[in-house]
Amino acid sequence: MTLQIIIVILCFTFTIGEDYYELLGIPKSANNREIRKAFKKLAVTLHPDKNQADPDAHATFIRLTKAYEVLKDAESRKKYDLYGEEGVKSTSHQSYHSWSYYHDNFGIYDDDPEIVTLNKADFDQSVLNSQSIWFINFYSPMCSHCHELAPSWRRLARELEGVVRIGAVNCEEDWILCRQEGIRSYPSLLIYPDKEKFNGDRTEEDMKRFLLSRLRVSVVKINTDIWENSHGTSSWLLAVCYKEDSGCLDTDTQLKLAAMLEGLVMVGYVNCDSDEELCKRFGITKSDVIYWEYIEDHPIGITNRILGTDAKEISKEVLSLIQEPSKLDDEIDEIGFEDMRNELKMGSLYPWIIYFYIGDITGDMELELKKLPALLPNMRLGKLHCGRWSSLCQDLHIARYPLFAVFKPGGGHEFHHGRETAHDVANFARDSSAAPNIRVLSPPEFPDICMRREKNRPWLVDFYAPWCPPCLRLLPELRKASRHFDSTINFGTIDCTIHAALCRQHNIRSYPTTIFYNNTEKQQFLGEHTATSLVDFLQEFLHPTVVKLSKKSFYSSIGTKPANELWMIDFFAPWCGPCQQLAPDWRKLAKMVSSLSNIHIGSVDCEAEDALCAEQGVRSYPTIRLYPFGGQGLSTIAIYSGYQRDVHSLREWLFSFIPSPVEELTPDNFVNKVLDTEEPWLVDYYAPWCGHCVVFAPEFHFIAQKLEGRVHTGKVNCDAFRHLCQQAGVSGYPTVMLYHGICSCKKKNQLSPRLHHCQPLVLELVSLLSFDKMRRQLTLEQRIYV
């Protein structure tokens, strides 16, 4: 069982020390790669090993190292931004390495633009949530084989730039990510999205052969018949070859070009020795590379000779010849932009992606823009020059250039905070456009949200910073969650680097901070940063399972409680860190037992109901009290004193107060009770030392209560009655078996059931066993025999 612990540190003052950002010479928006590069440059220059005559060299280097160690980690960086040096005194540590380590081992691939250095913050979005082919090197700076591989990895990345995406993960710094991906040795080379490990020789040639064999593209072999029937309305890049001529493109280059130009042009191969007539039609008399451009009103098209000799040169030349797609032809002006937004507000179903820029669009960015239409065929694309339309860009609070934004049906929009490559932008655009219920918010809109004056719908608002890795991981989860609440809850985001005053005004002290606004009530989200947790959090407000008690309702509900009811109450204070930590588990507990009509889970806000809490003698928070079956009113109270406050520990404690219908079964009564009866039995075979059995016990208790009166439930201690369990065919714990009464399975002491007439009951049991995530994590040995 995994316990999630969230620690909220309350701090009212801190001592302002050195500015770590200024010390490293970086802006507060710097990403991890920029932080590493800045630190390496300083470390190599100022290391004590190279400055032995300077008495302050060691102290200076320690300060630099501490600054780096704090800022490279998302959690310590967040604490530093909140509380300064005081906030990281107890958690930060600095490691000391020799000058040669920083010169030779540190940031192996930081100076290689062709290699994408990945961390946990961007791995999920860029790699796992993408269909692009990635080849990733999981390495450690201290691994000699990793350093031996580095030159070949760099050459491979340069040769296959644009063909596949080459990445690197430093497992010394991102060990959680490496553990998540099952990395157990260095270097480990994996190809995604298939997550296939490369096990060949780590030579450049072998790695290249491995990658090219996994490309999902092909080169079309062209002859006259195929050309006449299939060239259609596409433009083509053709390798035209004569056998005796050495100028023909090799098959590897053809395959690379097919991958680089996928979705833009078709790539084909023409053998002029077997189809000389077709080559003459193109005006080719020797091996060459041509770009044949389809023109609607030109029956034979236009043939352009390509002068480049390698894949990168050829692809750039072809991209420069491709006509800019019509949807990017016209620059959007202020009027066109407003028309576009009005159309979306009025119900247009086609989202737009807009490229905001200043100056000219040249070089790599021009080529990336040309790739976007093929990657986003169902979106409209445009570009807007913020130098010409500065007031429009200021109204949108655009603070950096270039910048991509998705404008969605309904009128909302979101900005892209990742890499500005066509594939990353396309991933963001698809993800964002599929979530029309989430949008960027600005200060003028915020008072209406707080007071719920806009459309009478509550809001979930995420306050974030683009440089914050946990923030960027949360944004895709917010989009997923928003799809569950199209008509009931609005979702919004506020960039606190742009709207700093608004964030300070609302006491936003860490990123991300996510708050639910409902009328004048607000509630901070403190669960796991997953879509599932967000949905559960919001569903609790729409359909509450925790009963919020005032002084009046406390005494009317619990003060007059009958003996056949049980209440479990959390007395909390909103400012209390452990109370905030408990809140998500408390909601989960309430949801788990919501189908049991005589069990109630409640809460009392002791800040709002201070008189009630004083009367009940509540002196610390959280205080968990249970008013059990058998007691009337407030006559009987049990106080939870366990150290663990996770949902499973709380449920186990709760169920210890609930009479169990589960019978203890032994060899003496098993046959009479279970086998020689026409009534169904559900039996849990367990062992007292089995951890999964202990976790499952409250689950089985819950199922027994739900089925009481229809199905008998029992349990067998396989530690005490091993022979009985062996006869039943039990090979692992816990094992659950359903017996439907007297049936043909009872032969020769055969205790394992084989049933054929209880499908509705089995389906209900499967539903109960799937009640929450924890059940799905039980051992595979748990099963229902049918």
The two three-digit tokens of residue 469, written as one number = 């890795």
Q: Which of 10-14, 186-190, 305-309 has the lowest mean pLDDT?
A: 10-14
- DSSP 3-state assignment of 492? strand
Q: Kindly tell me if the per-residue pLDDT of 763 is higher than 70.
A: no
Measured at the CA of 147, the angle between CA 143 and CA 152, to 5 degrees, comes to: 140
More confident residue, 45 or 535: 535
Q: What would the pLDDT profile of 56-84 be if each residue is shown by its tens digit?
A: 877 887 888 888 878 877 667 766 765 56
For helices 647-655 and 691-707, the axis angle rounded to 10 degrees is 60
Q: Kindly tell me if the per-residue pLDDT of 104 is higher than 70.
A: no
Q: Kindly tell me if the per-residue pLDDT of 785 is higher than 50.
A: no
On the 0-12 / 13-18 / 19+ scale of CB atoms within 10 A, 518 is middle
Exactly one of 241, 471, 579, 725 is catalytic; which is it?
579
Query: Looking at residue 677, what is its pLDDT?
Result: 83
Q: What would the pLDDT profile of 248-288 be if each residue is shown by its tens digit?
A: 889 999 999 999 888 788 899 999 888 888 888 888 888 88
- pLDDT (average), residues 532-538: 90
Q: Kindly tell me if the per-residue pLDDT of 765 is higher than 90.
A: no
Cα–Cα distances in angstroms (integers) from residue 693 to residues 181, 703, 775, in the given order = 29, 15, 11
DSSP states of 94-155 as a string? -----HHIIIIITTTTTT-TTEEE--HHHHIIIIIT--S-EEEEEE-TT-HHHHHHHHHHHH
Exactly one of 143, 450, 576, 745 is catalytic; which is it?
576
More confident residue, 351 or 121: 351
Positive/negative CA dihedral, 578, 584, 585, 591: positive
Query: Looking at residue 616, what is its pLDDT?
Result: 94
Q: Quick one: DSSP state of residue 349?
A: -
Cα–Cα distances in angstroms (integers) from residue 298 to residues 224, 302, 303, 597, in the given order = 19, 8, 11, 76
The two three-digit tokens of residue 8, written as one number = 């909220």
Query: Looking at residue 569, what is its pLDDT?
Result: 96
Query: Looking at residue 165, what is its pLDDT?
Result: 92
Positive/negative CA dihedral, 319, 320, 321, 324: positive
Q: What would the pLDDT profile of 419-465 be if each residue is shown by its tens digit?
A: 888 888 998 999 999 999 999 998 888 877 766 555 568 899 999 99
725 as an active site residue: the answer is: no
H-run or E-run covering 355: strand 352-357
Residues 6+ apart with CB under 8 A from 16: 84, 85
- pLDDT (average), residues 578-604: 89
- Between strands 599-605 and 566-572, the pairing is parallel
Max mean pLDDT among 207-211, 214-218, 487-491 falls in 207-211
- pLDDT (average), residues 165-169: 93
- pLDDT (average), residues 134-145: 91
Q: What would the pLDDT profile of 18-46 be if each residue is shown by its tens digit?
A: 788 888 888 877 777 788 788 778 877 87
Q: Quick one: DSSP state of residue 726?
A: H
More confident residue, 147 or 320: 147
Query: Looking at residue 580, what is its pLDDT?
Result: 83
Q: What would the pLDDT profile of 186-200 be if each residue is shown by its tens digit?
A: 999 999 999 999 999
Query: Looking at residue 674, what is its pLDDT?
Result: 87
Written as one letter, the residue type at 127 is V
579 as an active site residue: the answer is: yes
Exactly one of 178, 248, 613, 693 is catalytic; which is it?
693
Measured at the CA of 191, the angle between CA 420 and CA 198, to 5 degrees, comes to: 145
Please count the other Cβ atoms lying within 10 Å of the Cβ belonging to residue 406.
Answer: 25
Q: Kindly tell me if the per-residue pLDDT of 4 is higher than 90.
A: no
Average pLDDT along the chain = 82
450 as an active site residue: the answer is: no
Buried b / exposed e over 313-329, threshold 16 CB at 10 Å, is: ebbbbbbeebeeeeebe
Q: What would the pLDDT profile of 621-652 be if each residue is shown by its tens digit?
A: 999 999 999 999 999 999 998 888 888 889 88
Query: Looking at residue 301, what is its pLDDT?
Result: 72
Q: Kindly tell me if the per-residue pLDDT of 48 is higher than 80.
A: no
Cα–Cα distances in angstroms (integers) from residue 439 to residues 406, 447, 657, in the given order = 10, 16, 47
393 as an active site residue: the answer is: no
- pLDDT (average), residues 278-301: 80
Query: Looking at residue 786, what is its pLDDT?
Result: 31
